[in-house]
Amino acid sequence: MEDSQQDLRVPLCVMDGKQTLVDILRGEGVEYVFGIPGATEIQFMDALESAPEIRYMLGLQEVVCVGMAEGYARASGQPGFLNLHTATGLAAATPMLYNAQLGHVPLVVTVGQNDTRLLQRDPHLTGDIVGTGKIYAKWSTELVHAQDLPVVMRRAFKMATQPPEGPVVVSIPQDVLQQPLDPAPDTYRSSGCGEASRPRADREAVGQAVDMLLGARDPLLLVESGVARSDAVEEVVRLAELVGARVYQGWMSDVNFPVSHPQYLGDLDPTESAAGPVLAETDVLVGIGCSLFSHGFVAGESRLPAGLRLIHLDDDPWEMNKNLPTDCCLLGDIKATLTELNEALASLQSAEARSAVSDRIQAVSTQKREATAAWERLLDSSPETSPVSIPVLMRGLRDAAEHHTVLVD
Last residue of a domain, one of 167, 194, 221: 194
Residues 157 and 286 in one domain: no
Residue 69 near residue 107, CB atoms below 8 Å = yes
Distance, CA of 67 to CA of 171 (rounded, Å): 20
Does residue 339 lie in a domain region? Answer: yes
Does residue 399 lie in a domain region? Answer: no
Residue 2's pLDDT is 47
Residues 279 and 370 in one domain: yes
To 5 degrees, how large is the angle CA 171–CA 192–CA 42? 30
* Per-residue pLDDT tens listing for the chain (409 residues): 444 444 444 444 568 999 999 999 999 999 999 999 999 999 999 999 999 999 999 999 999 999 999 999 998 989 999 999 999 999 999 999 999 999 999 999 999 988 878 777 887 788 899 999 999 999 999 999 999 999 999 999 999 999 899 999 999 999 999 999 876 666 667 766 555 567 889 999 999 999 999 999 999 999 998 998 889 999 999 999 999 999 999 876 677 999 899 999 999 888 888 888 889 989 999 999 998 888 777 766 666 788 899 999 999 999 999 988 899 999 999 999 999 999 999 999 999 999 999 999 999 999 999 999 998 888 888 777 788 888 888 888 989 999 888 887 7
CATH of the domain at 213: 3.40.50.1220
Closest CA to 228 of 108, 78, 334: 334
Distance, CA of 293 to CA of 301 (rounded, Å): 10
Helices (H), 170-319: 174-178, 203-214, 226-229, 233-243, 276-280
Helix axes 149-161, 17-27, angle to 10 degrees: 30
pTM to 2 decimal places: 0.84
Residues 372 and 300 in one domain: yes
Enumerate the β-bridge partners of residue 220.
246, 285
Residues 173 and 215 in one domain: no
For residue 201, the 8-state DSSP code is: P
Does residue 395 lie in a domain region? Answer: no
Distance, CA of 97 to CA of 167 (rounded, Å): 7
Residue 300's pLDDT is 64
- Residue 320's domain spans which residues? 203-379
Distance, CA of 308 to CA of 46 (rounded, Å): 61
Residue 323 near residue 293, CB atoms below 8 Å = yes
Secondary element (H or E) of residue 249: strand 246-249
Residues 78 and 210 in one domain: no
Does residue 386 lie in a domain region? Answer: no
Does residue 93 lie in a domain region? Answer: yes
Q: Compute the radius of gyration of the chain from its Cα atoms.
A: 26
Residue 221 near residue 264, CB atoms below 8 Å = no
Residue 358's pLDDT is 96
CATH of the domain at 44: 3.40.50.970
Residue 100 near residue 138, CB atoms below 8 Å = no
The 3-state secondary structure of 344-374, one letter per residue: HHHHHCCHHHHHHHHHHHHHHHHHHHHHHHH
To 5 degrees, how large is the angle CA 73–CA 226–CA 290? 140
Residues 142 and 228 in one domain: no
Does residue 358 lie in a domain region? Answer: yes
Residues 218 and 123 in one domain: no
Residue 216 near residue 283, CB atoms below 8 Å = yes
Distance, CA of 189 to CA of 150 (rounded, Å): 9
Judging by DSSP bridges, how do beta strands 55-58 and 246-249 pair with one another? unpaired
| Alpha carbon distance, N-terminus to C-terminus of the chain | 74
Give how many domains the chain has, as a whole number. Answer: 2
Residue 244's pLDDT is 96
Last residue of a domain, one of 134, 168, 194: 194
Residues 373 and 250 in one domain: yes
Residues 82 and 169 in one domain: yes
The conformational region for residue 395 under phi > 0 = left, psi -120 to 50 = alpha, else beta, is alpha
Residues 169 and 120 in one domain: yes
150 CB contacts (<8 Å, ≥6 apart)? 20, 24, 185, 188
CA distances from residue 166 to 140, 221, 317 in whole angstroms, order as listed: 12, 25, 14
Does residue 401 lie in a domain region? Answer: no
Would you call the peptide bond into 317 cis, given omega within 30 degrees of 0 as the criterion? no
60 three-class SS: coil
Residues 227 and 370 in one domain: yes
- Residue 75 burial (CB count, 10 A): 9
Last residue of a domain, one of 194, 219, 252: 194
Distance, CA of 57 to CA of 170 (rounded, Å): 19
- Residue 93 burial (CB count, 10 A): 33
The conformational region for residue 300 under phi > 0 = left, psi -120 to 50 = alpha, else beta, is left
Residues 374 and 226 in one domain: yes
Distance, CA of 409 to CA of 400 (rounded, Å): 16
Does residue 4 lie in a domain region? Answer: no
Secondary element (H or E) of residue 312: strand 309-314
Residue 313 near residue 337, CB atoms below 8 Å = yes
